[in-house]
Amino acid sequence: MRKVEAVGNWQMIILFQAFITGSSILNIQGPLIGIAQNGAWISILIINAFSFFILALILRLHERYPDESYIQYSKKLLGKPLALILGVPLLLLLFHFNANITYGMGQFFTTSMMKETPLYVFHFLILMVAGLTVRSGVEVMARMFNGLLFFVLFIILLIFLLNITHYHPKFLFPVVPNGWKPILHGAYVGFGFPYMDIMYFAMILPFLKREKDKPFKRWMYAGLLFNGLILAFTIVASLMILGPIAMSEKFPIYQAARIIEIGEIIQRVESVFGMALIIGSYMKITMMLFIINEVMTQLFNLSDKRAFVFPNALLVFLFSLTMYENEVELGESGSIMETILAFFLAFVPLVIVTIRSLFTNKSS
């Protein structure tokens, strides 16, 4: 890949953190607490530990083929026909997942804040802005997300700090109320989202500048560990604030923001949380759209990348409006099918490509 655009080590780490944390910090608590209850934070830590293996695979392949993306070295290692057979389902999977994220963002607003606004309004606006950002390039994304990610993290931290008087540690017990099966189920769900997304990030790694004496891999692992700790913290804090109510809430952090009240000065700050949600979802949708565009153009050897950004965004828009009739169907898809699809269409091909690379000389 000829690096017309390139980002530095720190910018790439910020992109990685925005990709795996941006929307998951706001969307994963509800489903996991509903499944694993008080043990949801253990589910996150279990699957976070396993995700280091996924990260190790893509970093090893990147180290061996630093100027090529997952699709490009898959063609080199497996041959174009087999790479196409494995790449087309991956492309459809990316469309499906991006539509899920878009639907989840719109569903939050239509059920919590702006109930009278049609769903398609939110989907259209965020995908239009995401498409414009993708056309601006990866360098613009890296500069923008640097500030936006810290803003989202600051808002989340502020919500939990302002709720400090509402913490009840007794709500954390019993830690394993129904045995380990629900906790393992929660880890299963977490594999599909957000941790299998690490593999998709292999399409962005070729844009990294080669900077000597910079511990890039070490900081990537540190960023992944930070993601697991921050997600576990938000789950524990939500449980201590809401107690059993958290197990029936889709967005526990939103409910935690609603009960903030410090005198008559600070209260009802959930609208600020809504801003953090849309920013986190915007970063994730934008990067997924960028990856979709890269996979499509490299898979079919298309020359003009920018020409397909808005058609791809339109497909995501249509999928997001037609795949589900309600949020229950989205929840069933996330808790059952998403992990199965991610495992067979993304993780298994990644392992195959990695094993093939072990028996191939770099020079060939």
Nearest-angstrom CA–CA distance, 41 and 182:
12
Q: What is the pTM of this model?
A: 0.94
364 domain-assigned: no
pLDDT tens digit string along 231-269?
999 999 999 999 999 988 888 888 888 888 776 666 667
How far is the C-alpha of 286 from the C-alpha of 307, rounded, in Å? 16
Residue-averaged pLDDT of the chain: 90
d(CA 236, CA 169): 9
In-domain check, residue 202: yes
DSSP 8-state code for residue 250:
S
> Other C-beta atoms within 10 Å of 76: how many?
17
List, for residues 45-88, the tens digit of each pLDDT value. Answer: 999 999 999 999 999 999 999 999 999 999 999 999 999 999 99
Q: What percent of the chain has pLDDT over 70?
A: 95
Domain count, the chain: 1
Considering only CA atoms, give the Rg of the chain.
20
Structure tokens at 145: 């997300």
Query: Of 22, 12, 18, 46, which is closest to residue 32 (Cα–Cα)?
Result: 46
Lowest mean pLDDT among 212-226, 256-270, 305-319: 256-270
Coil, helix or strand for 303? coil
CA distance 291 to 312: 11
Q: Give residue 363's pLDDT.
A: 46
* Higher-confidence position of 272 and 141: 141
Other beta carbons within 10 angstroms of residue 348's beta carbon come to 12
Give the model confidence (pLDDT) of 27-47 as tens digits: 888 899 999 999 999 999 999
Residue 306 vs residue 195, higher pLDDT: 195
Which alpha helices (DSSP H) does the chain contain, by range? Answer: 9-21, 24-27, 29-36, 40-64, 70-78, 80-108, 119-136, 138-162, 181-190, 197-200, 216-242, 252-258, 270-299, 309-322, 327-332, 338-342, 348-358
Distance, CA of 116 to CA of 1 (rounded, Å): 47
- Beta carbons of 30 and 249 less than 8 angstroms apart: yes
Strand-pairing partners, residue 84, are none
Domain presence at residue 199: yes
Model confidence at 361, in pLDDT bands (50, 70, 90)?
Answer: low
Contact 192, 31 (CB under 8 A): no
Residue 29 lies in a domain: yes
In whole angstroms, what is the distance from residue 126 CA to residue 103 CA? 11
The rounded distance, in Å, linking the Cα atoms of 50 and 359 is 25
Burial of 64 (0-12, 13-18, 19+ CB in 10 A): middle
Is 255 in contact with 249 (CB distance < 8 Å)?
yes
Above 90 in pLDDT, residue 6? no
Residues contacting residue 359 through CB under 8 Å, at least 6 positions apart: none
By residue count, the chain amounts to 364
Distance CA 102, CA 278 (A): 10
pLDDT tens, 266-286? 666 777 777 888 899 999 999
pLDDT, tens only, 323-339: 888 777 887 787 788 99
CATH code (residue 257): 1.20.1740.10
Contact yes or no for 88/299 (Cβ under 8 A): yes
* Inside any domain, residue 290: yes
209 pLDDT band, cuts 50/70/90, is confident
Q: Hunting for tokens 């380990």 — which residue is that?
A: 180
- Comparing 223 with 23, the larger pLDDT belongs to 223
Check residues 246 and 111 and name the one with the higher pLDDT.
246
**With 50 as the cut, is the pLDDT of residue 162 above it?**
yes
Is the pLDDT at 210 greater than 80? The verdict is no
Among 187, 237, 176, 194, smallest CA distance to 43 is for 187
The answer to the question of residue 4 being in a domain is no
pLDDT given for residue 304 in this prediction: 81
> Which pLDDT score, from 0 to 100, does residue 364 have?
47
**1 within domain boundaries:** no
Cα–Cα distance for residue pair 202/215, rounded to 1 Å: 18
CA dist 15 → 20, 76, 137, 149, 339 (Å):
9, 27, 13, 9, 23
In a domain, 173, yes or no: yes
pLDDT at 111 over 90: no
Q: Which domain holds residue 188?
A: 9-358
